[in-house]
Structure 1
Amino acid sequence: MVKLMNSSDCDNLKIEINRFIDLLKQIESSLIDFPLTADGCCSMKIEIVDRNEAESVFKSMKSNAIIMLYNFVEAGVRTTMYDYYTYFNNKKFTYSTTILEIKKLWIQHKTKEFKENYITDQVFDMIENSINNEYKVALDFDEDFSLSGNADVREIKTILDRHGLQYDVSQFKDYGGSLRTIKDMRNRLAHGNISFEDNGKGFTLSDLEQYKNQTYDCMKYFMEVVKSSFTEQLA
């Protein structure tokens, strides 16, 4: 089992991202010879020795910030859903008291375990367990949950739908563009389809700030939706 981050780790990721973007702002202000305002981050002094080299590194660093934002999204989704699976299993629901969407996930998981020569017996056992009020339905996060390089708003809504988690579609409408852009850039970088420097040419720090804010807002709402199920869907 791969070790997952907890909520504290995700909070620390936000701190790291904020610190890194603040550094980028300092570098940019040094490159354009325009000092930051009094409320800007001034944790260190940036001295530009070779402007061309500094500009190249600055572009690559912007791409690194995209990787950090994507990792924050994926870590937040995984951690939140792991908490959901843990909470669900601890509640020890029977099949009859489990919502339809989770019943489907459980059936999918059980059928994956079927061995060719024993299918009839295994189907019989599954049916018996589903009508046995003493049998408790359980989900396996490692086996049943998947998120690989696709963490954007579309995937997040699919995850919520698969688990029967209710949400307001309009809450996500403002975040789709930013998260899709982050995912697409991350995948191009990860697969070597573009260099970090060339990728960093395509967006400004203002764009990056918007990506960051919308990512934070999207993940906050996603986590609220899942956590609210602890007192509603899984009560």
Structure 2
Amino acid sequence: MTIADGYYLKQKEINFYMDQLTFLDNISIDHLNPYGNYLNDNLSNDDYSFNDFIVILKSNAFMMLYNMVESTVKELIASIYDQINSSQLSYSNISESLQDLWQKYHFQNLDQSDAKADKYKKAAHDMINSVLTLQPIKLNYGQLKLSGNADFESILTITQQHGINFNTNEVGKYNLELKKIKNTRNSLAHGSSSFIESARDNSVGDIQKISEHTQIYLEQLIKDCGFYIQHHKYKKHK
């Protein structure tokens, strides 16, 4: 197993999907192709055409790409937390970045609408007791707040919070494409945009390039997270 098995599975899925979408798109614009005529006749009705079906498939590609991005980040952080938790490290033995994050997590679950002083007092007492008694630190990736918000900026913030040296020299240029994936996915998921309209202005070739760039971005992230784990960057340096 690797730290990103889920990514490689989703990579195969999106590549297969894009190959078939490209095939169908090419047929749809080739009016001399008998298969195109067949599909135009059989994948149309009074309301929608075969070309409309292609647009729906293009919109769905953005959903798949976003799912790959968010799930990969969660999977990487879960792998890091598993490594930290199995190492049985106390507060004083984890990096300063993780110390700050652990403190943040400790208060995160308090209900802000019912944030009574005694709840904060108890949370602070439990945290101090854990530090003084050298209890092993436990991190739960479920506390990672990312749902629907995974783009270049939010992922960079997450890596910085964990002390992960994410090299964005080559992949920083994909910032706007990752934001487009997130925004398109959210407009579809929240119903503010329809599948029949959302990707109408994007060519299949455009989406193919976005897919390729997203994979380059994620593979750099996987590489840097792997280095972080392999070289125990989560530990406090003496």
- The TM tier, using the shorter chain, reads 0.7 to 0.9
Q: After superposition, give the CA deviation of every residue in 1:114-173 in whole Å (9 maximum; x if it has no partner).
A: 7743655653443243234x421221222x211111111111101101111112232331
Q: Do the aligned residues in 1 keep the contact of 2:58 with 2:199 (CA within 8 Å)?
A: yes
The SS at the match of 2:154 is helix
Spell out the pairing of 1:67-82 with structure 2 (5 A cutoff): 67-82=63-78
1:103 aligns to 2:94 (yes or no): no
Structure 1: how far apart are the matches of 2:125 and 2:227? 36
Distance 1:54 1:122, change over 3 A: closer
Spell out the pairing of 1:91-170 with structure 2 (5 A cutoff): 91-112=87-108, 116-117=117-118, 120=121, 123-132=124-133, 134-142=134-142, 144-170=143-169
1:28 aligns to 2:19 (yes or no): no
Identical columns (%): 25
Segment of structure 1 superposing worse, 106-115 or 175-184:
106-115
Structure 2: how far apart are the matches of 1:122 and 1:90? 24
The SS at the match of 1:27 is helix
1:198 aligns to 2:189 (yes or no): no
Q: Do the aligned residues in 2 keep the contact of 1:69 with 1:182 (CA within 8 Å)?
A: yes
What is aligned with 2:234? 234
TM-score normalised by length of structure 2: 0.83
Q: After superposition, give the CA deviation of every residue in 1:166-200 in whole Å (9 maximum; x if it has no partner).
A: 12232331211111111111111111112112112
Structure 2: how far apart are the matches of 1:109 and 1:200? 38
Structure 1: how far apart are the matches of 2:228 and 2:80? 8
What is aligned with 2:55? 59
- Per the TM alignment, residue 91 of structure 1 is displaced from its structure 2 partner at its CA by 1.1
What is aligned with 1:42? none
Structure 2: how far apart are the matches of 1:111 and 1:197? 43
Structure 1: how far apart are the matches of 2:212 and 2:125? 51
Count residues with an aligned counterpart: 220
**Superposition RMSD on alpha carbons, in Å?**
2.5
Distance 1:14 1:226, change over 3 A: same
Q: Do the aligned residues in 2 keep the contact of 1:96 with 1:131 (CA within 8 Å)?
A: no
Structure 2: how far apart are the matches of 1:139 and 1:180? 28
Amino acid at match of 2:203: T
Distance 1:120 1:204, change over 3 A: closer
TM-score normalised by length of structure 1: 0.84
Distance 1:113 1:198, change over 3 A: closer
Amino acid at match of 1:49: N
Moved over 4 A (4+): 112-116, 118-122
What is aligned with 2:81? 85
Distance 1:126 1:24, change over 3 A: closer
Amino acid at match of 1:60: I
- Per the TM alignment, residue 201 of structure 1 is displaced from its structure 2 partner at its CA by 1.1
Amino acid at match of 2:220: Y
